[in-house]
Amino acid sequence: MGVVDEALEALGILPGVLPEPRLLADLFVRFQAQVPLRRAPAGAKADALVSAWLEEGAGCCGEGRTGAFRHLAAAAGFPLESAAARGPRGDARTVLLARRGSLLLDPGFPLPAPLSLDPPAESAATGYGVLTVRPSAGGAELRLETRGDERLLYRVEPGGDAGGAAGPPTPPPQRPGLFRLLDDRLLRWEAGTLEVTDAWSRLRVPLPSADAEGLEALFGPPVALAAEEGAKGAPAPAPTLAVYHSVGEDPARLHRLLADPEAHAALLPGGWTVEGLEARNGGGFDRNLLEDGKLLRRERVTLLPDGAAVAADGPLALFPTRTWRLEPRPSGTRLRLLATLREPVPPRGLPEGVRRRLVFELASELLALDRLSAGA
C-alpha cells in the first residue's frame, strides 16, 4: 500500500470505495481536523508532506497544504478545480472547488467543512465566528463575522489559481506559528504568545518556545521552532483578555453613558451597591462597590477620548484594569472591553473553565451597557 493510500485509510477513506459526494466532505473535514496547520519545509512535494504527517504527525500550510489535499482527493476519485482566493489587499492564494465550481474547499484556512458557493448565502458557525458566503461580481465573497465585527476574508475567483492571468500577486507573509482549531475556539501560538480566540473574545498569555512539552500538549507533536529563538529575549506579554460586542447606538451616546456614574452603577450585578462616590476634576470618578455591606472592590474610572479606563483593587477585583473602547461602525458601534488579569496565569494558559468564567464576567458588562443604551 502506497503512502497516499495509507493516508486516505487513516482519514477514513478505504481503498476501492466509490467516490460518493459525501465522502469528499468527510475527507476534507478529517484532513482539516487531523493534519496540523503549520509550517513545513519549503518546496516539499505532496507525497513528502503526506508521508511526514503519517510518520511524524507533521503538518503543512499554504500552497503545499492545498496541493497535498488535492493530491489525496484525486487519489480518492475526486478531481478538483483551482481558484484564486484574493484578499482585500490584493494578496492571493489557491483554493479548491468541487461540484462544477459550486463547493469551496480551502485547506489553507481553518475552514472546518466545505462551503456552498451557490445562492442563497450560506453561513457556517465556527469556533472563531460565523463564515458567510455572498455572491459578488465574477465569483463569491467569503466574509467572517467575529468579535463584534464583520470583514471580508477573500473573493473566490474561479478559473485559475493564485498565479493566474493577472500575474502572481504578492502573497501574504509566512508567519511562524502553530494553530489548532477546536469546536468552540481557535488556538494560535506565535513568538512566545499563546492566543485563544472564539466568536466573542481573545485571550493572550505568554508561553515560551522553550516549553516544548506545553506546546505539544496544546498543538500535538513537537515541531522545530528555531525561527522563534529570537523571541526569547523579548519581554513576556502581559496576560490580557478582550471581549467584543456590536450595538446599534452611536459612539457619542455610549461615551456619555460611560461618563455617567449612574450608568456605571446600572451595569453592576444584582445586589451590588455603590458607596463613597467621588467625582474628580477633569472627568472621571472613584467609587467603592459593596454587597451586603462588605467591600468587593474599589474602582477609579477615567474617561478617554474613545472610551473609559477602570483601575480596580480589592477582594473581588478579578481584573486590575479594564479599558472600554468605542469603535465607530457604519451601523453603530463595536465595543471592546480589554482587561488585564490579576491572578498569575499558569505556565500553559488558563484552564478552559476559568477562561469561560472570565469571558462571562466581561461580556456581562458589555451586554448590560447594550441593554442600558437601548432602554435609555
Given this model, what pLDDT does residue 161 score?
61
Indicate whether 192 and 269 sit together in one domain.
Answer: yes
pLDDT along the chain (376 residues), means of 10: 87 79 91 88 88 89 93 92 92 92 93 88 86 86 91 87 49 63 88 91 90 84 54 70 95 95 93 94 92 95 96 93 95 95 84 94 95 84
Which is nearest to 57 in space by CA: 71, 38, 29? 38
Indicate whether 208 and 341 sit together in one domain.
Answer: yes
What is the rounded distance in angstroms from the CA atom of residue 107 to the CA atom of residue 94?
A: 9
Q: Please check whether residue 119 is in contact with residue 132, taking contact to mean a CB–CB distance below 8 angstroms.
A: no
What is the rounded distance in angstroms from the CA atom of residue 187 to the CA atom of residue 127?
A: 10
Given this model, what pLDDT does residue 227 score?
45
Given this model, what pLDDT does residue 208 score?
86
Backbone angles phi, psi at 359, to 5 degrees: -60, -40
Indicate whether 162 and 187 sit together in one domain.
Answer: no
Given this model, what pLDDT does residue 283 score?
82
Domain C-terminal end among 107, 138, 170: 170
Q: Please check whether residue 91 is in contact with residue 172, taking contact to mean a CB–CB distance below 8 angstroms.
A: yes
Indicate whether 50 and 87 sit together in one domain.
Answer: no
Indicate whether 30 and 148 sit together in one domain.
Answer: no
Domain C-terminal end among 122, 144, 170: 170
Indicate whether 201 and 71 sit together in one domain.
Answer: no
Domain count, the chain: 3
Indicate whether 84 and 64 sit together in one domain.
Answer: no
Domain C-terminal end among 79, 102, 134: 79
Average pLDDT of the residues of the chain: 87
SS3 151: strand
Domain of 95 in residue numbering reads as 80-170
Given this model, what pLDDT does residue 327 score?
95
Whichever domain contains 118, its CATH number is: 2.40.128
Cell numbers 486516505 correspond to what residue?
8
Indicate whether 202 and 96 sit together in one domain.
Answer: no
Indicate whether 112 and 143 sit together in one domain.
Answer: yes
Give 35's contacts (C-beta < 8 A, 6+ positions apart). 53, 59, 60, 65, 68
How many Cβ atoms sit within 10 Å of the Cβ of residue 24? 21
Q: Please check whether residue 257 is in contact with residue 335, taking contact to mean a CB–CB distance below 8 angstroms.
A: no
- Region for 191 from its dihedrals, namely left if φ exceeds 0, alpha if ψ lies in -120 to 50, beta otherwise: left
Going across the sheet that includes 294-304, the strands are 178-181, 186-190, 193-197, 201-206, 240-247, 332-340, 321-329, 307-313, 294-304, 285-291, 272-279
